[in-house]
Structure 1
């Protein structure tokens, strides 16, 4: 029998077939990491495998990509009254500015898959990009003459999109306020009171109203486990609002995936579900992402984050990660649930902070992790917790509405602008005021002297 000898081109053909098989597998499978041209930004790394969300079918043009950005971020830009809206650069009078920077497109400033040039908030331009349009600022504002253009976006000064809390009129009205406001406190949630006012005849349920028959479930429940579930539920807000076991465990179903948990909870807590799936905790479960991605990828786990997390924090994130399944302990959710995962310097310093002291002394009015990162906001007349934990995280000034419940603006902006203060979780007061207020006072004096 004649032995077959491989020739050089045979090896090339074999390698080509292997490469085609690998590429085909990655195209069809949920893991498309082979095609990533570089790491995505901190804000998008969870969904970098949902390629079609941003890129369409691979041949979509700039218009598709621009709309993909707006699909997720337009609501936030409208809420912020965007300082640099796209329409500003469609004005023919500003056409010349586009020669330096095409501000009509999000990707002009936020280019993904470029980790080597990606800065805070996914910006991929040099820090002095403001100079392209504002090179004459010192002529209009002489007190800005000594500032470098790389300092424009410093905390407490200017933000490209969101300047709601940095406009002069707002800051002038806040000047001179005390560091710690007398009687300052966070707003109280009103969901329970709102529900009770809408259901004046309601009566809290007790253990006999649980309507839980263990024989309906496919898994066995020991009497002890059942008793613990009954105890936790009967003292929860669900029992107070006439929500028994069957309303969550439809058809006697006991176990749920993370996506199913979020959907079941969202049947009653629609606003909370919407915000949760906008933030990094629940982003992978967002209905704006392809269904195939959500089904194949599953929810986020803390250890996948790009910030320091405890190695033991490897469970998927959903509603019960913080609120537990039956007890719904909001005090646990506000601190212990956060510190059970987060392992960064800021989080670890919380227990040594003045904020934690208030939390220990006052169960209802103290300052927890959730007080700042899950702010209480009005929603259709109710004061609800915003479950998008990224909502006011960056830029720093977006935290001001929370701070101003207890602190004056000068104190709060100085603290938010101090990186060391943030890392130490505001364990000591800021050492000095912010330059912004000095400039405002100079401008007020200048206006008065010119009259």
Structure 2
């Protein structure tokens, strides 16, 4: 009996270490099997990614992938955006051997050089984790090459209207010269008109609008709903109840709503799921995460939201399921959730006063943050579609410029976008002064003119 007893004195220190390791491994396995990855998160993610922080494999693959796999994970979501942006620091620039020395300062080939997740203590605006003077590492000779920049602060490169690391199109000399001297308010100020529905009606001129009696859903639909539908755009373009309520299904999850709407509005669905409103329903995320996490709700947002805002975000959060009230979707739907200073100030702005009075120069929340873009038409020509990714032109500030240029001169717009206090008060006054960029370009115009005279 004595020989069969467990001898703790012979149980060495490394034995205890092995047991502790096994317990930790078992705990980790238990967490993984429950799809709870929170145990492994080292810090808060950036504002851009906080909705999908538990979709770890979207970025980390199997957890052991190298730098190339991480870079590809960034490009899986952002490559198209960079291409559209006319990226001024593309990866190909730094594959050129002549630029090899620059990589020793900042390896601009990798997104994670500047954008590091789970490091809130060093994360600045736009998820940048570098000091504000990082431009100086490669452009320390800027004052010598451009005397006009000698008095500019070394950390002011990214000021609104100046340099955007990924897109400098607004700083190209020909752009600035073409827009110099524009008035603050353009004579034909207005946003482009949406054309999707009008294009359908032109292509189907003999299709009469559906009437209440054409509602082909069973007794589950009330007379009020049928009447509302009959006054909607759907009835005008020959979409009746069964177009959405296939097999008589009456209730839908948020994911099902986005899928049903997207069967006809595929461009809108794609851009909606690229922005923060619909990101968690994106087809680019692992399907098991989408099913587990569900759609975003206002109370999960990091921006201030109204306490009364509730429910999951889908197409019908802004667009009623049976009526098509674009006025409601353009302002009231936004202000029903957003409660930050900029949003609260909108109804005191000239933009709102003009919009609510029906002035073509007036703009709504959606008019600025859901930009109207030109796309090729299916039958040739062009059509104007609304980009439902509300982050597309939000930050940096100068990404808003293409929208502003529909109504305002470039200098007026850039001066407004560079004024943080004016943004907070939702542009309730004119910007105080012009923009330094245009002071420089006016000097450049004079120099070009003098050079021509001397030739």
Same fold (TM over 0.5): yes
The CA RMSD over aligned residues, in Å, is 2.1
Q: What residue in structure 1 maps to residue 379 of structure 2?
A: none
1:182 to 180, 184, 187: 187
**Alpha-carbon deviations, 1:94-146, whole Å to 9, x = none?**
00001101111010011111111111111110000011110000111111111
Cα deviation for residue 314 of structure 1 reads 2.6
**Alpha-carbon deviations, 1:201-246, whole Å to 9, x = none?**
21100111110103xxxxxx4xxx7122112111110000110111
Q: What residue in structure 2 maps to residue 321 of structure 1?
A: 317
2:373 to 366, 377, 388: 377
Cα deviation for residue 443 of structure 1 reads 2.5
SS in 1 for 2:222: helix
Contact 2:361/2:407 (8 A) holds in 1: no
Q: What residue in structure 2 maps to residue 145 of structure 1?
A: 150
Distance, in Å, in 1 between the alignment partners of 2:283 and 2:436 is 43
How many residue pairs were aligned?
Answer: 439
Is 1:287 the equivalent of 2:283?
yes
Distance, in Å, in 1 between the alignment partners of 2:386 and 2:361 is 15
SS in 2 for 1:378: strand
**Alpha-carbon deviations, 1:52-83, whole Å to 9, x = none?**
01010011111111011111111111111110
Distance 1:141 1:329, change over 3 A: same
SS in 1 for 2:400: helix
Q: What residue in structure 2 maps to residue 85 of structure 1?
A: 90
Cα deviation for residue 19 of structure 1 reads 4.6
Is 1:243 the equivalent of 2:239?
yes
Is 1:425 the equivalent of 2:426?
yes
Contact 2:48/2:127 (8 A) holds in 1: yes
Ranges in structure 2 where 5+ consecutive residues have no aligned partner? 377-381
SS in 1 for 2:373: strand
Q: What residue in structure 2 maps to residue 444 of structure 1?
A: 445
SS in 2 for 1:149: coil
Distance, in Å, in 2 between the alignment partners of 1:434 and 1:363 is 28
Ranges in structure 1 where 5+ consecutive residues have no aligned partner? 215-220
Is 1:25 the equivalent of 2:30?
yes
Distance, in Å, in 1 between the alignment partners of 2:162 and 2:310 is 38
Q: What residue in structure 2 maps to residue 411 of structure 1?
A: 412
Task: Report 1:158-197 matches (<5 A).
Answer: 158-197=163-202
1:101 to 86, 98, 106: 106
Task: Report 1:29-428 matches (<5 A).
Answer: 29-214=34-219, 221=220, 226-362=222-358, 366-380=362-376, 381-428=382-429
Cα deviation for residue 21 of structure 1 reads 4.8
Distance, in Å, in 2 between the alignment partners of 1:445 and 1:379 is 38
Contact 1:265/1:273 (8 A) holds in 2: yes
Contact 2:189/2:361 (8 A) holds in 1: no
Contact 1:97/1:133 (8 A) holds in 2: yes
TM-score by length of 2: 0.92
Distance 1:363 1:181, change over 3 A: closer
Contact 2:115/2:129 (8 A) holds in 1: yes
TM-score by length of 1: 0.93
**Alpha-carbon deviations, 1:21-74, whole Å to 9, x = none?**
542232123331221111111111111111001010011111111011111111
Cα deviation for residue 149 of structure 1 reads 1.7
SS in 2 for 1:335: helix
Cα deviation for residue 394 of structure 1 reads 1.1
Contact 1:285/1:298 (8 A) holds in 2: yes
Q: What residue in structure 2 maps to residue 217 of structure 1?
A: none
SS in 1 for 2:313: coil
